[in-house]
Amino acid sequence: MKIVVVGDALVSSATLIDAAKQINFPDKGEVQIKTFEWFSDLKKEQFQEKILLIEKNGPEAVDIPAGILEEIVDADYLLVHIAPVSKKMIEAAQQLKLIGTCRGGLEHLALESIKAKNIPLIHVIRNAEPVADFTIGLMYAETRNIARAHNAIKNGEWRKGFSNDPYKTVLANHTVGLLGLGYIGKLVVKRLNGLGVKVIAYDPFVDMAKIKAEGLDVTLHDLNTVVSQADILSLHMRLSPETENMINKDIINQMKPGSYIINTARAGVLHKGDLIEALQNKRIAGAALDVSWVEPIEPGDPLLSLDNITLTTHIAGDTIDAIPRAPYLLKTVLNDYFRTGVSDMLIKL
């Protein structure tokens, strides 16, 4: 059995190898692990530039590790963090039985090529808990003007009035609507349940019986119902051709005047121009975004002139333990998959 492991600047190959040795692969016999590095020597800020290239343009937009095409030919398993799994790599692989990636986003993977070869793909939401926490934090920050008050004080102003004053209330008086009820979405529901907040959701791919079996108090509706009933619309869907610019003028115009948009998913699911227009015209009360269409946000961007938006620097999942422990989370998920043959983390392509 041959395993190809690709480390990077955030998840070392040594950690991936250690996790791999704890995986109960169904194959028997001698184990060979071939290791590669993908810009592992870059500092975090420099490596972030590579990540942004992948997130915007996919795995073909960056270099793959030298020599990997030759080694992947007879590999049985491929384990990566965010290193690209390109079309050439998949085409070269002759007996790949599974790909494991220890992150939630799939932009670094040539999904069509993986689908064409019917290779099982397992991922893990390594920062699901931090993102869920941060999502709740943005709800408080935007609806209660926490960041705006702080910014005013720093600029010498003791500000007491805000554009959302007609709508201010406690979180428990809001109905939160989630678009996407995957792993992160369910963690957000769990937190909102604990806070006594009514939760509704839209996700055409979830099994409501399974959601209920997990003890989550959430009601599924069609998209238009969720959008029109939610006081806070929180986005948790993957970016795909089907979801790109999904939240546009038509959707926003169905929202309540006192409602908010929270986005800790991907910027591309939200139509930038339509959001800016809605905020400028006070069509909705506000928005909070941890993701942007261009990162860093460029000087002069219309987002920076808005007084009814909270912006953060794509840090929702950035905690000291989320990324380092990701290979071990992948290990646990793979062991369950090999034992049972099923997994919520198996991507349906």
What lies within 8 Å, CB to CB, of 23 at 6+ separation is 331, 334, 335, 338
pTM for the full model?
0.78
Distance CA 265, CA 107 (A): 13
The residue behind tokens 């790599």 is 89
114-124 pLDDT, tens per residue? 999 999 999 99
Beta carbons of 316 and 127 less than 8 angstroms apart: yes
Residue 136 CB neighbour total at 10 angstroms: 20
220-252 pLDDT, tens per residue? 999 999 999 999 999 999 888 999 999 999 999
How far CA 259 is from CA of 16, 141, 174, 230, in Å, comes to 43, 14, 9, 7
Beta carbons of 193 and 199 less than 8 angstroms apart: yes
Distance CA 63, CA 61 (A): 7
The residue behind tokens 């006081």 is 231
SS3 59: helix
Tokens representing residue 20 in the block: 């791999």
Helix ranges (DSSP H) in the chain: 13-20, 44-57, 68-71, 87-92, 111-116, 128-143, 146-154, 183-194, 208-213, 223-229, 249-252, 272-280, 326-340
SS3 235: strand
- Of 242, 295, 325, 339, catalytic: 295
Residue 282 CB neighbour total at 10 angstroms: 12
Helix ranges (DSSP H) in 214-325: 223-229, 249-252, 272-280
Strand-pair partners of 8: 38
Could you give all domains of the chain from N- to C-terminal order, each with its CATH number? 2-126+323-340 (3.40.50.720), 128-311 (3.40.50.720)
Beta carbons of 174 and 151 less than 8 angstroms apart: no
Q: Is 91 considered catalytic here?
A: no
Question: What angle is formed at CA 123 by the lines to CA 121 and CA 125, rounded to 5 degrees?
Answer: 160
- Of 108, 126, 148, 266, catalytic: 266
Question: What angle is formed at CA 335 by the lines to CA 332 and CA 336, rounded to 5 degrees?
Answer: 85
Tokens representing residue 71 in the block: 């080694």
Q: Is 266 considered catalytic here?
A: yes
| Ranges of the chain whose pLDDT falls below 70 | none
Amino acid at 30: E
Buried b (16+ CB within 10 A) or exposed e, 164-179: beebeeebeebbbbbb
